[in-house]
Amino acid sequence: MKIAVLTSGGDAPGMNAAIRAVVRTGIAFGHEIFGVLDGYRGLLEDNFIPLTSKDVSGMLSAGGTMLGTARVTEFKEVPVQMVAIDNLTNRGIDALIVIGGDGSYRGALALHELGFQTIGIPGTIDNDVYGTDFTIGFHTALNTIVDAIDKLRDTSSSHRRCSIIEVMGRTSGDLALYAGICGGAEFIITPENPINKDKLISTLKKHNDEGRRHAIIVVTEQQFDVHKLAAEISIKSGFSSRATVLGYIQRGGRPVAEDRILASRMGSYAVEAIMQGVSGECIGIKNDKLVTSPLADIVNHPKERGELYDLVQKIR
């Protein structure tokens, strides 16, 4: 078989490890593997490169994605998707593996519905994909955030300050939740657990009156302006506050061990699924077992709330 692989949407540490696993497993089974450059853009511009085992050497530990990624808004249109399928079939490619998040999965589903064999692998730091306990990149971003919280706590404590840390996650609070638990945050504000400003300010006032030296608030992005919240807390509770938006630093870096293993397992499993004729499905991990689920279900479900959402109520 000829199998193509691309990375799409936001980059995530471990995408390279997944590409490497696809290439090495595919070659081990006697297939030819092609990389598509810059996500769906490469499909439209016929930008393919053959990938050998040697081409992915050293990629296990490399951050980012060696194939590049892109956001291609016009890929939502069927005539544009047909161009992609023409380019794939003209090269004799039999199947496509899409490594990306929820949006990339919609593109993969569209190609499957147009009759092209397509499989998804969840690659996003946000952990916002239904049907998998973890996405590739989540654990690396989590470690980056925990490291930042530890550092911000040092300076907050020295200056006797409340530190608000905005992290990525889009509609999923998992990064904030896991990082908040690891960093001992006083408050974790996520889309699943939105802000209760009165309670937040009255608790911080109490902490300030007690003479506590620091407070940590971890917030998922896109909910409100964290700098305005810091100003409001400072005025209303008396606890001097500062906000830090961690930003793109969360997307970079060498993948941690969990992401290297997850990416290797999922990449290899995706090739085996393709060999079995599976299409329109994506790879997930559930209770440490690899599974496949229909892309059509995945893209229509918000990520389920894990048990950590309850844990945080008990150990705060």
Binding positions for ATP:
10, 71-72, 101-104
Catalytic site residue from 11, 38, 126, 174: 126
Annotated binding site: 10, 20-24, 71-72, 101-104, 124-126, 153, 161, 168-170, 184-186, 221, 242, 248-251
Nearest residue to 63 via CA among 259, 267, 289: 259
Q: Give the whole-angstrom CA distance, residue 227 versus residue 148.
A: 18
Task: Verify whether residue 209 is a known catalytic residue.
Answer: no
* Binding test (CB under 6 A) with ligand ADP, winner from 26, 42, 103, 180: 103
Backbone angles phi, psi at 137, to 5 degrees: 110, -20
* Binding test (CB under 6 A) with ligand ADP, winner from 38, 102, 174, 192: 102
Site membership for ligand ADP, residue 250 (CB under 6 A): no
Question: Which of positions 115-174 make contact with ligand ADP (CB under 6 A)?
Answer: 124
Q: Return the number of the residue (127 or 244) whose C-beta is nearest ligand ADP.
A: 127
Q: How many residues bind ligand ADP (CB under 6 A)?
A: 18
Q: Return the number of the residue (113 or 272) whose C-beta is nearest ligand ADP.
A: 113
Q: How far is the CB of 41 from ligand ADP (least distance, A)?
A: 8
Q: How far is the CB of 163 from ligand ADP (least distance, A)?
A: 28
Alpha-carbon Rg for the chain, nearest whole angstrom, is: 21
Site membership for ligand ADP, residue 42 (CB under 6 A): no
Token pair, residue 79, equals 């005539």
Annotated binding site for Mg(2+): 102
Backbone angles phi, psi at 129, to 5 degrees: -100, 125
- Give the DSSP letter of residue 136: B
Backbone angles phi, psi at 119, to 5 degrees: -130, 145
Helices (H), the chain: 15-28, 40-44, 78-90, 102-113, 138-159, 174-182, 197-209, 226-237, 257-275, 295-298, 308-315
Residues forming the site for ligand ADP (CB under 6 A): 8-10, 40, 71-73, 75-76, 100-104, 106-107, 110, 124
Supply the residues annotated as catalytic. Answer: 126
